[in-house]
Structure 1
Amino acid sequence: EDGSYAISGSKIFITWGDHDLTENIIHLVLARTPDAPPGPKGISLFVVPKFVLDENGNPGNRNAVEIVSIEHKLGIHASPTCVMSFDKATGYLVGEENHGMRYMFTMMNQARLEVGLEGLSVAQRAYEHAAEYAKERIQGRALGSGGSSSIIDHADVRRMLMTMKAYSEAMRCLVYDAAAAEDRHQNAQDEAARVAAGNRLALLTPIAKSWCTDRGVEIASIGIQVLGGMGFIEESGAAQFYRDVRITPIYEGTNGIQALDLVMRKLPMDDGSVITSYLDEIAALDGPLEEGGDELEGLRTHLAAALGSVRTATEWLNSSDDVQARMAGATPYQEMLGTLAGGYYLARQALAALQNADSDSWLAAKISTARFYGVNLLPKVHGLLAGVTDGPDLLFAIDDEHIGAPA
């Protein structure tokens, strides 16, 4: 009679499913109405409060929403993850019936950018933590040193720290570009500019979510390695970064799902013109890099070569009629494109820093970081190309009975 619905069922993986920090808690719940059509087109979105509001709009009677259990997790222990039960709980329809998935993805797309930022944030902290330890830990004698050395003076430790630094800076640029595209999409006065920004945001969202979280896990793992045995000890704090960031490639859509979204939906946008424009934008940096002289020549060469491999992979995916083959190549392609994008953004930073680098060591470090990325990280793109274009046959060449069987 009051337009509400009685919601029954359960939900898992509900972050902060219950607490006493606020007067009320609002759950967004996807559910089916009795006459809903089958499949995703029959899902509606409901608001289900912990306390049903009284006639004055204040929290009133407790709703039929309960916590069944709290999950025991690998990481993010400060965030309770709950299993929730709804027993004819009072809920209110959001928008129109059967449009719940479309509404929910408005939140999901925003959350995916935020999870990409989370991957960057933990990576940055892991990098800073490892760098601080490397400067203080005395071990061995570095080549050319007259006495005991900090481990930061050893080449292998230096390589690990530079990898962490280069990836972190590239990730930051990617997240910034996606956020800027979102701002332009929301606020551009010109319709064409708004559409272009929306297309760029759509393209960058799965890359920012997946590439930044995969690299976040990698950087946290490298951080443990920098600390050596102490990294494996909880007391050092390095392990927590790894445990906490490990969820980021999983939630708000696994990175495998992001790869499928990128390849199956985002690459074909506007007959492939969105990805083509992005790659052309990267290609346009070749001239300025050439003008940058010998210092940027190596970066220019590696960026152009990586761009060539990504173009080959992109054209293959967009021209293939084999859906299974495109799906099989999605994850390596996503890593290819993310790695190329990182090199592109660092190259732009290097160009911006070039003019005043002689008098500013911070700017000089931007150039060195970009050059390191070009030599050590960009070439990984080429090794991924065959995995994109080889098709699905080798993925399914072994019978299920031999998967997981003793060697």
Structure 2
Amino acid sequence: MPQYTPPVRDTRFVLENVVGLDRYANVPGFGAATPDTVDAVLEEGGRFVAEVLFPLNLSGDQEGCTRHADGSVTTPAGFKEAYAKFVESGWGTLSAPEAFGGQGMPHVVSTAFQEYMISANMAFAMYPGLAHGAIAALVVKGSPEQQAKYLPKMVSGEWGGTMNLTEPQCGTDLGLIRTRAEPQADGSYSITGTKIFISAGEHDLTDNIIHLVLAKTPGAPESSKGISLFVVPKVMVGDDRSLGERNAVSCGSIEHKMGIHGNSTCVMNYDGATGWLVGDEMKGLAAMFIMMNAARLGVGLQGLGLAEVAYQNAVQYAHDRRQGRALTGPAEPNEKADTLFVHPDVRRMLMEGKAWTEGLRALCLWGALQVDLEHAAPDDADRQMAADLIGLLTPVIKGVGTDKGYEIATTSQQVYGGHGYIAEWGMEQYVRDARIAQIYEGTNGVQAMDLVGRKLAANGGRAVQALFRIVGEEVAAAKNVEATVAFATALERANSELQTATMWFMANGMKDPNNVGAGAVSYMHVMGIVAVGLMWLRMAAAAARLKDAGEGDAAFMDAKLVTARFFAERVMPEAGALRRKIEGGAEAIMALPPEMFMAARA
């Protein structure tokens, strides 16, 4: 059976030494994030997910969700009771606006808790997670009346929320949607159409579910410019937030999926359902991106969360399992065999897991800080810088975070050998669950194209130039410190590879746009190496400083320094190989006519 311990000590180290929460006391919301309060969130939140959510993960996967003849859906045994405890304890309100009943804490604090939830039970975490995306859109785009009607109970967790974007004939290309919204005399709209892949679309955890639905009004252009966003409650809501009649929206079926069986991924049928326009007509794309950007950061966190729990179990198995002898001779002659830890290749897999999970944790929390600063920093320049950085790095956090999450889940499974393939050990579930994170909320190829096609050139390349400058300045400072000079030199080389790849795109993208498309994923991973490398530089510098001052756990600091060295020696060199792949261009990729892909098999 798998196990999970929330990584509270590592989270605390990042919040104190990479994020630097204490430096932002003047930012609205950060005053409440005192060290004692944050410690309580981490400790008590970790205890809640370990004791309440994690025990339901394996059974929830095995049981799955059940759709009944009336279209209702039952979640796995124990989910409803666990959700009631989640709501009662207020865990979903941590960073929600105080005006609607939230605690108003920084997003970076709630992000730490969300990682623990995902590791403990990803399928369960998706229920409140989807509601948070809907809340974010209504906070920005909803009318005062819509906010007053829906947000208090969505924030409290009494009501759920979803995003309804995808249809059978369109996923990424939302201009192809067919769902229609016909205006009614009372100012509402009649929504008709079918949506697929709707996570948490129907369930028994809440009394109501507030759906945010993309649709087109009469005469709207047949492109993404014609999209509008509508709020469509499962159950009609009075002005006093009382519940009325059931709306004409129903779950047609539950998708049969590879993983996340504990979450109800639904086909949703809208049969003249009553909805109301959110924001302006045919401006739904802007509102959609509010939801999507929040969701993409959340999905990147899913990559981290699943990598962490899979890694933890692989470490424990390597401690317990005895197979073979060390290459240098028996490590424990009195035992019949040595533990898996004596084998370099097992060590390689575990070190990769440790280096990426700890690095991604720092990047996700630092990214969450940028979300906070974008909205609340007192200085205009600070808000702009934060917006630039998180806009640039959102596809990296999602794409690289989930690619590495899946990779670490599979290598952690590999540590188990044949036992990793057996369901009772739990590792194959983590592999299955991690796979979806590379696909939904925009496939990782789409993330890479968003990065190279939109984010690099935005505002004359202001964001990527800021990243280059930050890395360059911190590398220069670190090269003057003996403990970090080697790491800084490796990061400098990786940053140079990223700069060279960026210039290659500028020189070759106009000649043939396919050159950009062919190298996009590789470029995203080079930027991921540099961004996580920057986090490791900060962690290594902090560990060296604390160790020299005799503060903290010396063994913990030594482990940070060794893991940073591993990242520099074994991960950062990959940036050069990826850059060379980018420079290979698109010619060979695009040369074969489609019929030749199967010609040798005819």
Q: TM-score, normalised by structure 2?
A: 0.65
Alignment of 1:194-343 (within 5 A): 194-293=383-482, 295-319=483-507, 320-321=509-510, 322-343=512-533
2-side partners of 1:182 and 1:300: how far apart? 27
Q: CA deviation at 1:50?
A: 1.4
2-side partners of 1:63 and 1:177: how far apart? 41
1-side partners of 2:557 and 2:198: how far apart? 44
Residue 73 of structure 1 corresponds to 257
* Bigger Cα displacement from structure 2, 298-307 vs 10-19: 298-307
CA displacement, residues 20-62 of structure 1 (integer Å, 9 cap, x when unaligned): 2222111111111112223111111111111223575422222
User: Aligned match of 2:343 in 137, 149, 154?
Assistant: 154
1-side partners of 2:416 and 2:266: how far apart? 34
Matched, 1:393 2:587: yes
Is residue 388–residue 462 contact of structure 2 (8 Å, CA) maintained in 1? Answer: no
Matched, 1:347 2:526: no
Which residue identity is paired with 2:191? I
Secondary structure in structure 1 of the residue aligned to 2:428? helix
Secondary structure in structure 2 of the residue aligned to 1:96? coil
CA displacement, residues 318-369 of structure 1 (integer Å, 9 cap, x when unaligned): 3432322222211110011101221221122111111343650101110100
Alignment of 1:87-106 (within 5 A): 87-106=271-290
Q: CA deviation at 1:80?
A: 1.1
Residue 363 of structure 1 corresponds to 557
Q: CA deviation at 1:405?
A: 4.7
Which residue identity is paired with 1:327? G
Is residue 267–residue 318 contact of structure 1 (8 Å, CA) maintained in 2? Answer: no
Unaligned runs of 5+ in 1: none
Kindly tell me: are residues 151 and 31 of structure 1, through their superposed partners in 2, closer, same or farther at Cα, counting changes over 3 Å? same
User: Aligned match of 1:12 in 175, 196, 199?
Assistant: 196
Residue 316 of structure 2 corresponds to 132
Unaligned runs of 5+ in 2: 1-184
Q: CA deviation at 1:297?
A: 4.2
Is residue 296–residue 371 contact of structure 1 (8 Å, CA) maintained in 2? Answer: no
Secondary structure in structure 1 of the residue aligned to 2:416? helix
Task: Report the count of equivalent residues.
Answer: 406
Is residue 47–residue 91 contact of structure 1 (8 Å, CA) maintained in 2? Answer: yes
Which residue identity is paired with 1:159? R
Alignment of 1:374-389 (within 5 A): 374-389=568-583
* Bigger Cα displacement from structure 2, 100-109 vs 342-351: 342-351
2-side partners of 1:370 and 1:288: how far apart? 17
Q: CA deviation at 1:279?
A: 1.4
Which residue identity is paired with 1:375? E
Residue 121 of structure 1 corresponds to 305
Q: CA deviation at 1:192?
A: 1.5
User: Aligned match of 1:85 in 269, 272, 284?
Assistant: 269
2-side partners of 1:257 and 1:49: how far apart? 30
User: Aligned match of 1:192 in 381, 396, 415?
Assistant: 381
Is residue 272–residue 318 contact of structure 1 (8 Å, CA) maintained in 2? Answer: no
2-side partners of 1:340 and 1:132: how far apart? 30
Is residue 10–residue 84 contact of structure 1 (8 Å, CA) maintained in 2? Answer: yes
Secondary structure in structure 2 of the residue aligned to 1:251? coil
Q: CA deviation at 1:95?
A: 1.3
Q: Give the RMSD, CA atoms, in angstroms.
A: 1.6
1-side partners of 2:417 and 2:241: how far apart? 57
1-side partners of 2:526 and 2:494: how far apart? 8
User: Aligned match of 2:566 in 372, 385, 407?
Assistant: 372
Q: CA deviation at 1:136?
A: 0.6
CA displacement, residues 189-221 of structure 1 (integer Å, 9 cap, x when unaligned): 111111111111101111111111000000001
2-side partners of 1:61 and 1:404: how far apart? 55
Secondary structure in structure 2 of the residue aligned to 1:17? coil
CA displacement, residues 267-293 of structure 1 (integer Å, 9 cap, x when unaligned): 112212321221121122333332332
Is residue 297–residue 397 contact of structure 2 (8 Å, CA) maintained in 1? Answer: yes
Which residue identity is paired with 2:306? V
Which residue identity is paired with 2:487? L
Is residue 279–residue 307 contact of structure 1 (8 Å, CA) maintained in 2? Answer: yes
* Bigger Cα displacement from structure 2, 18-27 vs 223-232: 18-27
Secondary structure in structure 1 of the residue aligned to 2:253? strand
Is residue 268–residue 318 contact of structure 1 (8 Å, CA) maintained in 2? Answer: no
Is residue 350–residue 366 contact of structure 1 (8 Å, CA) maintained in 2? Answer: yes
Is residue 296–residue 398 contact of structure 2 (8 Å, CA) maintained in 1? Answer: yes
Kindly tell me: are residues 57 and 354 of structure 1, through their superposed partners in 2, closer, same or farther at Cα, counting changes over 3 Å? closer
2-side partners of 1:339 and 1:283: how far apart? 15
Percent of aligned positions with the same letter in both sequences? 44
CA displacement, residues 152-176 of structure 1 (integer Å, 9 cap, x when unaligned): 1221111111110001111111112
* Bigger Cα displacement from structure 2, 179-188 vs 341-350: 341-350
Kindly tell me: are residues 329 and 26 of structure 1, through their superposed partners in 2, closer, same or farther at Cα, counting changes over 3 Å? same
1-side partners of 2:258 and 2:535: how far apart? 33
Is residue 203–residue 264 contact of structure 2 (8 Å, CA) maintained in 1? Answer: no
Secondary structure in structure 1 of the residue aligned to 2:437? coil
Q: TM-score, normalised by structure 1?
A: 0.96
Q: CA deviation at 1:81?
A: 0.6
